[in-house]
Chains A and B, each alone.
Chain A
Amino acid sequence: MATANPTVQSAGPISGSRSFLSKLREGDEIARLITFIFAATVVLITVALVYELWTSSVLARHKFGLHFFVSEAWDPVLDEFGALPFIYGTLVTSAVSLLIAIPLGIGASIFLAELAPPRISDTLQFFIDLLAAVPSVIYGLLGIFIVVPMMRNVIYPALNKPFGFLPIFKGPSYGVGMLTAGIVLAIMVIPYIISVSREVLLSVPRDQREAALALGSTRWESTWKVVVPFARTGIMGSVFLALARALGETMAVTMVIGNTPKIAASLFAPGYSIAAVIANDFTEATGELQTQSYIELGLVLFLLTFILNGLARILIIVTTQKGSKVSN
């Protein structure tokens, strides 16, 4: 036993290094290393981003503290800055856009994946991919020249007359405002939802559909009760992708939101989003504190995205667990 021990101990490293060498020769180890570096850069970039935002906003963070999150002031002359109107505008426009885009997008993807003949489905998919690739400034122009007049002449009277007693539909409309921004954002994110959801729905195994049909369900029942729940996680993924785009969208939003840092209950009122104010004002910021406040706004936007993404993860985990319990 005593003599066997050393040989056993030395056997490990030797055989290990041998296999490492042979792996290296076969390229496995090299490939692993290179792809690892690529993967690590993603983490590094995120860390560097947060570090940079954190250190460059030190003045503003010290001066305003947590008050930054609840203050409504934005006065470059008096050097008083608060993020609340921008957080509000960002969240409201994103929420409005998702409210519109989710039913439309998922409905369209169900049609394309389940009901439409493949030729129509593929042709439409081509247009949807095209829409997803249109630069956002083009959507902004669409917003200014089509959605804004439509808002004033059609949507506003239609909503304000019957529902004007609700705070969200109260007050005058200038054409531009948070609802307009939400609609333009919805138009922008729908292609993402459709594109990803359609792929997910198409990848649902044929067995699932056949089983449902064999049990006597209609085509719609098999789609709605079997295929869609099966693809639920992926569809949610598409929605969160859309949300991420809506949160960070800059150009199209700033062209139609009205750019007014005020909190108003009415969706017709002008507002402002975090990304829009940074794009608008950052280069012309006059004082160090103002510049740093914009950087801190960037940090806030990052935090917002982080929290919402985290919530999305939790939601997916919870719902998949529920789903698997039901199927058990």
Chain B
Amino acid sequence: MKRTAVLLMAVLVAGGLVWAQGLLINGAGATFPYPIYSKWFDVYHQKNGSLQFNYQSVGSGAGIKQVTEGTVDFGATDGPMNDEQLKAYQDKHGSAILHFPTVLGAVVPTYNLSGVSGSLNFTPEALAGIFLGKITKWNDPAIAGANKGVSLPAGDIVVVHRSDGSGTTYVWTDYLCKISDEWKSKVNKSTSVNWPVGLGGKGNEGVTALIKQTPNSFGYVELIYAAQNNIPYGTVRNAAGTFVKADLKSVSEAAAGAAKDMPEDFRVSITNAPGKTAYPISSFTWLLVPSKIQDNAKREAIKGFLTWMLADGQSYAEQLSYAQLPKAVIEKEKKAIAKVQ
């Protein structure tokens, strides 16, 4: 008994020593890029044995809050920090926080209509109308007009949205703001909003469950989630007037269009992007890195990771259904890494 106890103690102490030698970097934030972030951190840890990243996918809002409070070394978010939040960070730390786009995602409209097998076409007017509660029937001309030859039921549309605050909702409402002035003035964009109509489901899986359970329902989920779970989703008419189905290529296309006039701080929305084949409901997801990091080792580790992420790291994106960053954005980000001091 005693010997086991001593042995156990020895193992624990040894483990503690090994643990203490490595460098642990803590991050927290968005849930949407969690699969690729954990992959990246795992691969990077294998390459740099002493370095360990610990990422908590607590949500974009919490990520911004924690990095502002300084309880984590970096944050992550699906919607860029607003000016107020940037100012709060500046006031607290006396230095700025930097946005680094990592990968791209998209949000897709999904539905449950018996008898409709192919993917439906949605115009921006139809999407805004449905979510404002103005288009209430499936056979409304605004929907039927874009889907000639499909027999749409006369049933009421049951709108489903996210009930939890989420980056997915941010991207969706950001898009609706751009295509509908009425949405912008009545509802606006945020990670959670005051929905004019509809039921709330918790998480992508909650929305999907509600849609599967409810005939004539309509909602939105992340592209990755829809792709991995074989959920049918519709095409959306983009700014150039073509109906585009979301996939890695059309999402990257949306980013490429925006790359030309990318602002210095990378806080850019690429919803409703120009470009003939660009999918209009796409978005970057960002890492939030303080521009001043006191700890030398941590600073170098984070900068090293960012450099790797922009080069080798990008190749892991597609197998996990994330779209890669356009080349132009990568070049610009590489220069921005030097701002971390």
Binding site for B on A (CB under 8 A): 73-78, 144-145, 148-149, 152, 172, 174-176, 254-255, 258-260, 270, 272, 276, 280-281, 283-287, 291
Contact = CB atoms under 8 A, between A and B. Distances in A.
Given A176-B210, A259-B202, A284 B158 contact: no
B61 A254 contact: no
13 contacts: A73-B194, A75-B193, A76-B192, A77-B188, A77-B194, A78-B188, A270-B200, A280-B163, A280-B164, A283-B62, A284-B191, A284-B192, A286-B165
A73 B163 CA distance: 16
Contacts of A281: 163-165, 192
A149 B213 contact: yes
Q: DSSP majority for the A interface?
A: mixed
Contacts of A172: 156
B206 interface: yes
B53 to A, nearest CB: 20
Contacts of A75: 193-194
B55 to A, nearest CB: 15
A175 B214 contact: yes
B163 A254 contact: yes
Contact of B199 (A78, A145, A174, A280): A174
Contacts of B165: 76, 280-281, 283-286
Contacts of B189: 77
B156 A284 contact: no
A74 B200 CA distance: 14
B213 A175 contact: yes
Given A148-B213, A258-B200, A77 B193 contact: yes
Interface residues of B, number: 34
Contacts of B188: 77-78
Contacts of A254: 163, 202
Contacts of B58: 283
Contacts of A280: 163-165, 200, 202
B213 A286 contact: no
Interface string B164-206: 1110000000000000000000011111111100111110001
A55 to B, nearest CB: 17
Given A174-B214, A284-B62, 8 more contacts: A76-B194, A77-B193, A77-B194, A78-B194, A175-B214, A176-B210, A258-B199, A286-B190
Contacts of A283: 58-59, 61-62, 165
Contacts of B190: 76-77, 286
A45 to B, nearest CB: 24
A146 to B, nearest CB: 11
B310 to A, nearest CB: 27
B209 interface: yes
B28 to A, nearest CB: 10
Contact of B61 (A78, A270, A276, A284): A284
Contacts of B64: 286
Nearest to B169: A284
Nearest to B61: A284
B199 A270 contact: yes
B198 to A, nearest CB: 7
Interface in B186-243: 187-195, 198-202, 206, 209-210, 213-214
A259 B159 CA distance: 12
B119 to A, nearest CB: 24
Contacts of B187: 77
Contact of A260 (B60, B65, B156, B198): B198
A76 B193 contact: yes
Nearest to B217: A174
Nearest to B85: A286
A162 B285 CA distance: 52
A255 B60 CA distance: 22
